[in-house]
Amino acid sequence: MPRTRASALFRQTFGGPPEVVAAAPGRVNLIGEHVDYAEGFVLPIAIERSTAVAIRRAPAGAPSRAVSEVTGEESFDLPTARGPLPSRSWANYVLGPMRELIDGGQARACNVDVAVASDVPLGGGVSSSAALEVAAALAYRELAGGTSDRLAIARLCQRAEHRYAGTPCGIMDMTVSACATLGHALLIDCRSLALRHVRLPASAIVLVFDSGVRHRLSDGGYASRRDAVERAADALGVGTLRDASPDAVARARDDGRLDADAAAKARHVTTEIARTIAAADALDAGDLAAFGRLMYESHASLRDDFRVSIGELDALVEAAADAPGVYGARMTGGGFGGSAIALVDRERADAAQAFIGDAFRRRFGRQPATFATAAAGGATVAPYVHG
């Protein structure tokens, strides 16, 4: 377990036990992609994989040190830091949330020793960055006397990703990591941050297939599409595309206010918001077939209108459509790589996983990394128990 490994790494590196250990899950988004920054609706689940942060106060006069199982060690002076570490350091995902707590007057400034362990795949479209940020924020809040609630933690982690990682992400990933409920998807209104916990039937499970193509949301593709969405809203005279409709987008395309590319991106956002609300209602009603149809529609929109899918993701979704027991499938995450998901009848999950994996292997010559997950609970934090 990441908690156990983070504690062991802490002892190995720093010669004693941590004071606090926090763990936060990654996520997959069932539906509602590239709409969070347009103040739309999203429907993610927390996955049964997490990132753990073990922490204690650093010795007097010593800087902060952060060590990870896979990405090495960094040091920084947390009380005086005023910006990100250079060269896209992984430690910015630790430094940033802690500085946001300090700068917001929500925790006292002190240097810390930190150890990180995770089983959330890096770059796989399952939000490894948000898991680390939320775990780091909760661990530091517990250690340094902060009082932020879970939604406040999500907001400050979003700011940290903007300021310290350079990614203009929405609020979804951090919110579900911090606030999910076991056995439920989380419908998030990204304007008001109203939350609706929607039960995922126990008869269904989610399969996650890693395309093997790594992505970095800070490389520019994500930012360029967010910019296009915001420019489309300006052209339509609305604050965000949450307040537009597919018909309004079509009219703006026909009268020349939107070119074909901008209209396609805006069409995705406006139709995806409507699909997500319909999907939550279908899930509430236990209509997994209807939910699955909406997943396929979402993927087609992301592929054709928003153009963030890739051949490997398309192949996984196409195979899922022919696999036994699959209700629906789509890419998940920001795109340009990462993972696809399939919502599957639990009793036929093994057969579906084998079918989809074999189809992918025949096309690309390699087996995709795969795992199954139910809907997990949100982040946890507690003082370290010695022993």
Annotated catalytic residues are 173
CA distance linking residue 383 with residue 46, whole number of Å: 23
Residue with tokens 């196409």: 318
Backbone dihedral region for residue 105 (phi beyond 0: left; psi -120 to 50: alpha; all else: beta): left
Kindly report the backbone phi and psi dihedral angles of residue 308, in degrees, each rounded to the nearest multiple of 5, phi listed first: -120, 0
Q: 21, 53 in Cβ contact below 8 A?
A: yes
Using alpha carbons, select from 244, 251, 252, 250 the residue that is nearest to residue 272.
244
What residue type is assigned to position 222 of the chain? Y
Q: 34, 302 in Cβ contact below 8 A?
A: yes
